[in-house]
Amino acid sequence: MVEPEVREPTFFVLAALASGAKHGYALIKDTAELSDGRVNLRVGTLYAALDRLQEQGLVAIAGEEVVDGRHRRYFALTDDGEALLEAEAARLEANAKQARAQLRTRYGHARIAAPTGAVS
């Protein structure tokens, strides 16, 4: 079976958990920060994603506490989650490498074509 591509919000949730267990609001802040503000998760969306990631065995509940009368549940990356994040990061790096190689080729062609082109 071909592994489905990891969507950007999921990727950043996993990436945020890579540095340690986090509670819901910390995850929202970290995903926004790691994505330069591109991923702004709403709370309902975050918990839907965490449900799905738990079902896939990529994330697990790491503990709960009550702070100032407010319930906080901590989530952590599992070994499978870490492996998926690692694989996805490698895939993105390989993609970026290919794109840069293609761009270098394009710049190379442009340099060769420039002297003989109509525009000079």
Partner 1 sequence: MSGLEARYREALRWYPRSWRDANADALVGTLLDAAESEGREAPNRSDLTNLAVSGIRTRFDTIAGPRVRGIVATNALATGVAFSLTQFFTTSWAPLAEAHHLGIGDRIFGPFLDLGPILTGLWLLALIGAVLHRAALTRSASAALVLVVVAMEVVRNVHYTSGSISQYALLFNAGLGLASLVGSPRDRRSLVLLLAGWFAVFAVIDFSNGVYLTQASIYLWALGPANAAGLTMALASTCLIAAAIANIRQPETAVVILLSSVPWLLMWGAEIVTNPVDYFEFPFPLYGAGLLLVCYGVCVALVHRARSRNSSTRSRP
Give the residues lining the site for partner 1 (CB under 8 A). 1-2, 4, 23-25, 28, 42-48, 51-52, 54-55, 61-64, 70-73
Shortest Å, Cβ 24 to partner 1: 3
Please say which residue, 4 or 115, places its beta carbon nearer to partner 1: 4
Shortest Å, Cβ 110 to partner 1: 35
Please say which residue, 61 or 101, places its beta carbon nearer to partner 1: 61
Shortest Å, Cβ 106 to partner 1: 29
73: closest CA among 8, 11, 15, 17?
17
Instruction: Report the 3 state secondary structure along 37-92.
Output: CCCCCCHHHHHHHHHHHHHCCCEEEEEEEEECCEEEEEEEECHHHHHHHHHHHHHH
- Label the pairing between strands 22-23 and 59-67: unpaired
Please say which residue, 52 or 97, places its beta carbon nearer to partner 1: 52
